[in-house]
Amino acid sequence: MKPSSESAVAAKAALTVVAITFVAEAAIMEALAYFGYTQISLATALLDAAALSLVIAPPLYWLVLKPLRREFERRLEAEVMAQDMGRLAITDALTRIMNRRGITVSLLDAMAQSERYSAPLTVVMADIDHFKLVNDEYGHKAGDKVLAAAAGIFADALRMPDKVGRYGGEEFLMVLPHTTLAHGRKIAERIRAAAAAHKFDIGQKNVRLTVSLGLAQFRKGEDLEQLISRVDKALYEAKAGGRNLVATGKKR
Q: What residues contact residue 188 under an 8 Å CB cut-off, 6+ apart?
A: 124, 126, 213, 215, 246
Q: What phi, psi does 243 have (nearest 5°)?
A: 70, 170
> Which of 7, 1, 14 minimizes the C-alpha distance to 60?
14
Work out the burial of residue 205: count CB atoms within 10 Å of its CB; fewer than 13 is exposed, 13-18 middle, 19 or more buried: exposed
> Which of 246, 214, 210, 245 minimizes the C-alpha distance to 229?
214
Any catalytic annotation for residue 170? yes
CA angle, 88 as apex, 179 and 143 as ends, to 5°? 75
Instruction: Identify whether the C-beta of residue 189 lies closer than 8 Å to the C-beta of residue 126.
Output: no
> What one-letter code names the amino acid at 97?
I
**Cβ burial 48-59 (10 Å sphere, 16+ → b, else e):** ebeebbeebbee
> What one-letter code names the amino acid at 252?
R
Of residues 73, 115, 137, 170, which has the active-site annotation?
170
Instruction: Identify whether the C-beta of residue 173 lies closer than 8 Å to the C-beta of residue 114.
Output: no
The string of DSSP letters for 145-202 reads: HHHHHHHHHHHHHS-TT-EEEEEETTEEEEEEET--HHHHHHHHHHHHHHHHH-EEE-
Q: Active-site positions? A: 170
